[in-house]
Structure 1
Amino acid sequence: MRRDDQASNRNTLGLFIEKAALLLAMTGAAVAAWILRDVVLILFGALVLAIGMSAVARLLGNRMRIGYAAGFSVVVLTGLILIGAIGWFFGAAIGEQLDEVARKIPTGLQWLTDQIEARPYARDLLAKLQTADLSGPTGWIASALAASVRTSVAAAGSLVVMAIIAVYLAAQPQRYKIGILRLLSPAMRARVSRLFDAEANILGRWFAGQLAVMATVGILSGLGLWALGIRAALVLGLVGGLLSFVPYVGAVIAAVPATLFALAQGPYYAAAVIAMYVAVHFIEGNFITPIIQSEATALPPVVSLLSVISCGLLLGPQAVFLAAPLALFFITAIEVLYVEPVITPEKKVEL
Structure 2
Amino acid sequence: MSEAGPDTDDKGPETHGSSPAFILDPRLRQEANRAFVWVSVIGLVALAVYISQSLLVIFGALVFASMIDGGSRLLGRVLPIGRRWRVSLVLIGVVAFFYWLVTFAGAQIAQQAAELPSIVERQATLIEQWAEANGIAVSLSQLQSMSSQVLSGVGTVTKALTGLAGGVATAILIVIIGIYVAFEPRLYERGVEWFAPRSSRQSFSVTLDRMAHTLRRLMAGRLLGMVFEGFVTFLALTMFDVPMAALLGILTGLLAFIPNIGAPISGLLMAMVGFSVDVETGLYTIGIYFFVQTFDGYVVIPMIAKKTVDLAPALVLAAQLILGILFGILGLLLADPLMAMLKVALERRAEQNDEAIQSQADSDGVATMQTGT
Alpha-carbon contact 2:217-2:307 (below 8 Å) kept? no
Report the 3-state secondary structure (helix = DSSP H, G, I; strand = E; otherwise coil) of the residue aligned with 1:178. helix
User: How far apart, CA to CA, are the structure 1 residues paired with 2:275 and 2:45?
Assistant: 47
- Alignment partner of 2:79 out of 50, 61, 64: 64
| Distance apart, 1:289 and its partner CA | 0.5
Alpha-carbon contact 1:37-1:315 (below 8 Å) kept? no
User: How far apart, CA to CA, are the structure 2 residues paired with 1:77 and 1:12?
Assistant: 65
User: How far apart, CA to CA, are the structure 2 residues paired with 1:15 and 1:200?
Assistant: 41
User: How far apart, CA to CA, are the structure 2 residues paired with 1:14 and 1:329?
Assistant: 39
TM-score by length of 2: 0.77
CA distance 1:293–1:14, change in 2 (3 Å):
farther
1:253 matched to 2:265: yes
1:105 matched to 2:107: no
| Distance apart, 1:65 and its partner CA | 2.4
Alpha-carbon contact 1:230-1:262 (below 8 Å) kept? yes
Larger radius of gyration: 2
1:340 matched to 2:351: yes
- Alignment partner of 1:236 out of 207, 231, 248: 248
1:205 matched to 2:207: no
Alpha-carbon contact 2:274-2:282 (below 8 Å) kept? yes
CA distance 1:12–1:299, change in 2 (3 Å):
farther
Aligned residue runs from structure 1 range 132-281, under 5 A: 137-147=139-149, 150=152, 158-281=170-293
Report the 3-state secondary structure (helix = DSSP H, G, I; strand = E; otherwise coil) of the residue aligned with 1:344. helix
CA distance 1:196–1:145, change in 2 (3 Å):
same
Alpha-carbon contact 1:213-1:288 (below 8 Å) kept? yes
CA distance 1:12–1:234, change in 2 (3 Å):
farther
Q: Which deviations, in whole Å up to 9, do the C-alpha atoms of 1:173-204 show, x marking residues without a partner?
A: 12212222233321121122112111100001
- Percent sequence identity is 24
User: How far apart, CA to CA, are the structure 1 residues paired with 2:195 and 2:67?
Assistant: 26
Alpha-carbon contact 1:46-1:166 (below 8 Å) kept? yes
The residue number in structure 2 matching 1:305 is: 317
User: How far apart, CA to CA, are the structure 1 residues paired with 2:201 and 2:36?
Assistant: 20
The residue number in structure 1 matching 2:93 is: 78
Write the letter of the residue equivalent to 2:221: G
- Alignment partner of 2:129 out of 86, 93, 114: 114
CA distance 1:69–1:264, change in 2 (3 Å):
same
Write the letter of the residue equivalent to 1:138: L
User: How far apart, CA to CA, are the structure 1 residues paired with 2:63 and 2:234?
Assistant: 27
CA distance 1:334–1:114, change in 2 (3 Å):
same
| Gaps in structure 2 of 5+ consecutive residues | 1-23, 154-162, 360-373
Alpha-carbon contact 1:108-1:260 (below 8 Å) kept? yes
User: How far apart, CA to CA, are the structure 1 residues paired with 2:41 and 2:225?
Assistant: 37
| Distance apart, 1:74 and its partner CA | 1.4
Q: Which deviations, in whole Å up to 9, do the C-alpha atoms of 1:93-119 show, x marking residues without a partner?
A: 110110121222222122223323333
Alpha-carbon contact 1:247-1:308 (below 8 Å) kept? no
| Distance apart, 1:148 and its partner CA | 5.5
User: How far apart, CA to CA, are the structure 2 residues paired with 1:243 and 1:19?
Assistant: 48
The residue number in structure 1 matching 2:52 is: 37
- Alignment partner of 1:327 out of 319, 329, 339: 339
Report the 3-state secondary structure (helix = DSSP H, G, I; strand = E; otherwise coil) of the residue aligned with 2:104. helix
| Distance apart, 1:209 and its partner CA | 0.8
The Cα RMSD (Å) is 3.1
Alpha-carbon contact 2:225-2:301 (below 8 Å) kept? yes
The residue number in structure 2 matching 1:55 is: 70
Paired residues in the alignment total: 327
TM-score by length of 1: 0.82
CA distance 1:62–1:279, change in 2 (3 Å):
closer
Q: Which deviations, in whole Å up to 9, do the C-alpha atoms of 1:2-44 show, x marking residues without a partner?
A: xxxxxxx999999988887666544433322222322222111
User: How far apart, CA to CA, are the structure 2 residues paired with 1:20 and 1:63?
Assistant: 59
User: How far apart, CA to CA, are the structure 1 residues paired with 2:340 and 2:26?
Assistant: 39
Alpha-carbon contact 2:112-2:244 (below 8 Å) kept? yes
Alpha-carbon contact 2:151-2:329 (below 8 Å) kept? no
CA distance 1:266–1:188, change in 2 (3 Å):
same
| Distance apart, 1:217 and its partner CA | 0.9
Alpha-carbon contact 1:155-1:318 (below 8 Å) kept? no
Aligned residue runs from structure 1 range 2-13, under 5 A: none
Write the letter of the residue equivalent to 1:82: F
- Greater shift after overlay, 260-269 or 246-255? 260-269
